Amino acid sequence: MWNFKQFNRSCIAPILLVFGVAGAATSVQAGNNPADPSKVVRVALEAPDDGFDLVRTYNAYSNWVAEAIFERLLTYDYLARPAKLVPQAAEAMPEVSDGGKSYVFHIRKGIYFAPDPAFKGVRRELTAQDYAYSFKRFLDPKNRSPSANVLEGKIAGMDEAVAKAKKSGRFDYDAPVAGLQTPDRYTLKITLTAPDYNFLYIMGFNALGAQAREVIDAYGEQSGAHPVGTGAYMLEQYVPRSKIVLVANPEYRGYTWDFKSTGSAWDEQLVHDMKGKKMPQVGRVEVSIIEEEQSRWLAFQGKQIDFDFLPQAAAPTVLDGTELKPSFKAEGIRMNTVIEPGLAYVIMNFRDPLLGGDSLEKNALRRAIAMSYNVQDEISQVRMGLAVKAEMVIPEGVVGHDPNYRSSIAYDPALANKLLDHFGYKRGADGYRTLPDGGPLVIKMATEASAKNVVFSEIWKRGLDKIGIRVDFKVSNYADNLRAATECKLMMWNGSWSADYPEGDNFMQLLYGPNAGQGNNGCYSSPAFDALYDKAKVLPPGPERNQLYIAMSRQMEADTAWVITVSRSRNWLIRPWIKGFKRHPILQADWQYLDMEKH
């Protein structure tokens, strides 16, 4: 990781060696996608997408699919651990100058968008202007992007353009922006308002893949159902919340599989199976939405899914300790185990009239609720042991995580009851409490319809019953709950976050006040937390910034904004005909790195 005090030109050379092109794909002739249409990979998602215009959603399952369609300037080496940035649409890592404020990217020539009627029969090459346009779309107030915070305030002159758009009601995409210049067809120069030590990670953020203006103009509000990118795949069929079919993009330039092993036995096998192959090999990807764990597991057992993570409920049937049982090994099934660089948590809406606010009595209520939840029950009854208790906001595997950190909030219903008694939440004859003013006290928790979520609800109800708080579970679906959360409308909701980039800022920004509705779905607002965040974001990675991350975690606990629960352990089960699989901590859509044998 970046471990230096001064960010200037003399430091850039070593950075580029760390994030350089070693292990990056080698280009082959444009328009020569080698994918075999008879090679069909079948996979399942555990929740529905929300369309594929990532300017308008950060739904994890939308991101998963869109990653195969759109290309960013930078991506990640498939095998390297820890995760390492490498060029994707860029020819090389950027030229950096002006103390880390100026970045010059050179776009690869001969990259073409997938064919689409929006191009009116013309073969459409990717240019630097497509990235400039895409970045502007993120900040166009009309789009209300939930991920706008990744670019807000960073690009010189962009704040003024946004202010004009808010005043006029229209973003002028043709007006020049000082910090976003395209001096020629293949050069993008980005000038920042201040050095940003995470900026290269931001350029690898999935949602910043290039979009063509003609496509957005053609489809408008329906762009999410008509994604057109330069990636390995294009959308052939889309049945919202049911099925997604991707096929090889005939314009994709292809590459040669030449990633370097980390030395593990798993990597050595991958290199043996894949080195030198013209990629992608898989010509078709069929994605089913199967929300119920048992149904997804039955689909895998019936060979209707080629690889999937092991459903938690099936773990006792499949695992003998940390190993596959002999019957599954006999089928040729392999298992790739990873601790996700992610976090599961429960938001408590700071804007909610009943639960929110920064008064002592409201904080006491949130703290008591947090203390009523038994994380160990979640690990044993929901996760079936496939999780570890999370202690701080930044999970293991992400820069800024402190392995010695321990949360100040523990499961303790007895202490929670004393806290509620002290602040005047009185018990009635039925054993349930009222607000200090005598008003009704009912927690409304959003959830989804699945067997797993039923168990979550049971754990919550048991704990809340012990402290005398009624709870009403509101069942909807993931996509609708996410949309409501971005509007600060959910009182409580089980959430999770997997790293978009492996640096603590990616998690702390979920609690930053100005990001309410843009990742900060609990709409947490704390001047003390925000001041710490502002200090951290201008520091380079290192002990000083890590101490601020610890202070931010403590401040979140003091305000009890979240109930932090677990980081999940994922056991990916892979059928023997799938070659090249290794779960990446950041990348999701791995289909372009795989091959499959006929079976």
547 and 588 assigned to the same domain: no
Closest CA to 48 of 221, 346, 288, 300: 288
- pLDDT tens string for the chain (599 positions)? 322 222 232 232 222 323 233 333 333 334 578 999 999 999 999 999 999 999 999 899 999 999 999 999 999 999 999 899 999 999 999 999 998 999 999 999 999 999 999 999 999 999 999 999 999 999 999 999 988 989 999 999 999 999 999 999 999 999 999 999 999 999 999 999 999 989 999 999 999 999 999 999 999 999 999 999 999 999 999 999 999 999 999 999 999 999 999 999 999 999 999 999 999 999 999 999 999 989 999 999 999 999 999 988 888 899 998 899 999 999 999 999 988 899 999 999 999 999 999 999 999 999 999 999 999 999 999 988 889 999 999 999 899 999 999 999 999 999 999 999 999 999 999 999 999 999 999 999 999 998 889 999 999 999 999 999 999 999 999 889 999 999 999 999 998 999 989 999 999 999 999 999 888 999 999 999 999 999 998 898 899 999 999 999 999 999 999 999 999 988 999 999 999 999 999 999 999 999 999 77
Domain of 133 in residue numbering reads as 9-258+575-596
393 and 425 co-located in one domain = yes
Domain count, the chain: 2
Residue located via tokens 């990446």: 584
DSSP 25: P
Is the whole model's pTM more than 0.85, yes or no? no
**Same domain, yes or no: 581 and 547:** no
Question: What is the predicted pLDDT for the residue at 285?
Answer: 98
Q: Is residue 405 part of a domain?
A: yes
Based on the domain organization, do 528 and 587 belong to the same domain? no
Residue 353's contacts (CB-CB under 8 Å, 6 or more residues apart) are none
320 in a structural domain: no
Asked if residue 479 and residue 397 are part of one domain, the reply reads yes
Element (H, E) at 483: helix 478-486
List the Cα angle 583/585/589 in 5-degree steps.
Answer: 60
- Which CATH number goes with the domain that contains 407? 3.10.105.10
Q: Is residue 537 part of a domain?
A: yes
In a domain, 219, yes or no: yes
Q: Which CATH number goes with the domain that contains 200? A: 3.40.190.10
Please give the DSSP secondary-structure letter assigned to residue 313.
Answer: G
Of 514, 557, 561, nearest in space to 533 by CA:
514
Q: Is the peptide bond before 585 cis (omega within 30 degrees of 0)?
A: no
Q: How far apart are CA 290 and CA 476, in angstroms?
A: 15
Alpha carbon distances (Å) from 537 to 194, 505, 530, 533, 534: 10, 7, 11, 6, 6
Same domain, 363 and 241: no
SS3 call for 480? helix
**415/470 same-domain check:** yes
Q: Mark whether 90 and 189 lie in a shared domain.
A: yes
Residues 218 and 351 in one domain: no
In a domain, 307, yes or no: no
Q: Is 65 in a helix, a strand, or coil?
A: helix
Contact 365, 425 (CB under 8 A): yes
Same domain for 588 and 479, yes or no, is no
Closest to 596 measured CA to CA, from 265, 277, 379: 277
Return the pLDDT at 31. Answer: 52
Instruction: At 59, list the tokens.
Output: 């739904």
- Residues 428, 531 share a domain: yes
Is there a single domain that holds both residue 532 and residue 583?
no
